Amino acid sequence: MTDVTKICRDISQLDKVAQEACNLFLSECKKTGIDIFITETYRSQARQDYLYAQGRTRSGQKVTWTRNSRHTSRLAWDIAVNKLI
């Protein structure tokens, strides 16, 4: 069984085309001085369902709007800006 609370940030877990796009995106951000980092790449369907339940059948704020995420197809990644105060 997959640990639905475990986050995958590994770009190599993405589809090959998505890996290329992600690496290009990261490179372009770096060139322009935007300091970002990957917060999540691949999600199992079990993890996606777990996240979808949050704010619905499980406590907490809603964090996703769908059970059919591109994360489960290895085609999406999430980012955040690393902003130092």
Q: Residue 64 sits in a domain of what CATH number?
A: 3.30.1380.10
Q: How many domains does the chain have?
A: 1
Q: Are 11 and 22 in contact (CB under 8 A)?
A: yes
Report the pLDDT value the prediction gives residue 84, as an integer from 0 to 100: 72
- The whole domain housing 21 covers 11-81
pLDDT of residue 1: 52
Q: Which of 63, 74, 77 is nearest to 15 (CA)?
A: 74
**Does residue 6 form part of some domain?**
no
- What pLDDT score does 85 carry? 60
The pLDDT assigned to 83 comes to 81
Please give the model's pTM, rounded to 2 decimal places: 0.88
The per-residue pLDDT string of the chain (85 residues; one tens digit each, 9 = 90 and over) reads: 579 999 999 999 999 999 999 999 999 999 999 999 999 999 999 999 999 999 999 999 999 999 999 999 999 999 999 987 6
DSSP code of 28? H
